[in-house]
Amino acid sequence: MKENSRRKFVKSLGLGIGSTALLPTLTSFETLSRKKYQGKKLNIALCGLGRYANILARGLQETEYCTLAGIITGTPSKAVDWKKRYSIPDKNIYNYGNFDTIKDNGDIDLVYVVLPNGMHKEFTIRAANAGKHVIVEKPMAFTEKDCQEMINACKEADVQLAVGYRLHYEPHHIEIKRLGQKKVFGQVRLIEVSLGYDISGIDPNDWHLKKSLSGGGPLMNLGVYCVQASRYVLGEEPVAVTAQFGPVTRPDLYTEVEESITWQLYFESGAIATSTSTNNTGVDRFFASAERGFFELSPAVSYGPFRGRSSSGEFDFPIINQQATQMDGIAKEILENHELPVHISGIEGQKDMKVLEAIYKAAETRDKVILT
């Protein structure tokens, strides 16, 4: 990586020279070249051991400030397998029934909720009531009101609440946020950001297709990233929303949730962001057109590796382990007793949820929904 890009990235994390942070600065590429951190680590218990929990567990092996200390699972065979794979002591292994007794376990600092979306609220509140910090996966919950209940529970229990937004620590996204918010190419006028996968081979019983567990289709699963990127690149909240459900090509699968959805967000500045999230074709791109130039990423939202450029040239940022960098970033704040930055907190998850609810309402009513 070029030295000027590296310096710019470290600076944008707010962790560079002159940082008053107590712990050493971190970025995945920097940790490779310096001594390992020896202080107190944040002990994390993963709750729900599905596909993404496996990715997080691998990421945890690359963190500097975290330990995979515990697990919560409803499947006894997974408990046996994970115990062996990650040397997890029996006393740190819970099921969904005895989970609340985690409050007596001083070896667990934080519960990372990686369950189906419909279980996020319950397990976030239970973890908070047990006195544990929480990271909850996206989408944070089903409604803005649910998010408020989760925020309140964490506040009352005096624990911190983060949403698993890995892209806030990703250098290409830090850069597009900077280019948009600092108006480096002038005011952004138009954003096109979409994410979709062809998942036609999905098991018809998968929870993603069941509204009570998913809350909705690809908008909840993938579109949340597009909404969020639009919001953080512009540094504004949308004031109005229009949306359209896409065609249903697999009526056998899509009886409860949408297969595809397209929407438009309107901002006070005059900017428009248009997006599609879909389960029937692949798309993974971000494009912003500003007064005096453009910037884009493709791939943009998946696990990458991301590639990007602007009207000034190609981006040159490191490819990082997104999950390790995210968890280290959150751990560092908690270990230093800092309040988590708003952009990774429950408040951010709630802001996204407000927009997602408006998108569904606009698609259902075919009316423009005004956000206040």
**Chain contacts with ligand NAD (rule: CB under 6 A):** 48-53, 74-75, 114-117, 137-138, 164, 166, 207, 213, 221
Residues whose CB falls within 8 Å of the CB of residue 295, separated by 6 or more in sequence, listed in order = 175, 176, 179, 180, 185, 287, 288, 308, 309, 310, 311
Q: CA 45, CA 129: separation in Å to the nearest integer?
A: 15
Q: Cβ of residue 347: shortest distance to ligand NAD, in angstroms?
A: 18
Q: Which residues contact 60 (CB under 8 A, 6 or more apart)?
A: 44, 66, 67, 68, 323, 324, 327
Nearer to ligand NAD, 115 or 271 (CB): 115
Q: Cβ-closest residue to ligand NAD? A: 50
Q: What are phi and psi of 193, to 5 degrees?
A: -140, 125
**Amino acid occupying residue 7:** R
* Residue 253 CB, nearest approach to ligand NAD (Å): 16
25 DSSP assignment: P
Sheet holding 93-94, edge to edge: 93-94, 66-72, 42-47, 110-113, 133-136, 161-163
Q: Are 77 and 53 in contact, with CB atoms under 8 Å apart?
A: no
Name the residue among 88, 113, 89, 92 with its Cα closest to residue 101. 92
- Looking at the Cβ atoms of 154 and 271, the one nearer to ligand NAD is 154
Listed residue (307, 309, 228, 234) closest to 275, CA to CA:
228
Q: Which is nearer to ligand NAD, 104 or 206 (CB)?
A: 206
Query: Smallest distance, Å, CB 184 to ligand NAD?
Result: 28
Is the CB of 139 or the CB of 238 nearer to ligand NAD? 139
Q: Which is nearer to ligand NAD, 75 or 312 (CB)?
A: 75
Q: How far is the CB of 18 from ligand NAD (least distance, A)?
A: 32
State the Rg of the chain over Cα: 20
Nearest distance in Å: CB 25, ligand NAD: 24
Nearest-approach distance from CB 270 to ligand NAD, in angstroms: 31
List C-alpha distances in Å: 130 to 60, 203, 246: 23, 35, 42
- Rounded to a whole number of angstroms, the minimum distance from the CB of residue 99 to ligand NAD is 12
**Which of 29/207 has CB closer to ligand NAD?**
207
Nearer Cβ to ligand NAD, position 65 or 82? 82
CB of 117 to ligand NAD, least distance (A): 5
Nearer to ligand NAD, 340 or 369 (CB): 340
User: Do 52 and 208 touch, CB atoms closer than 8 A?
Assistant: no
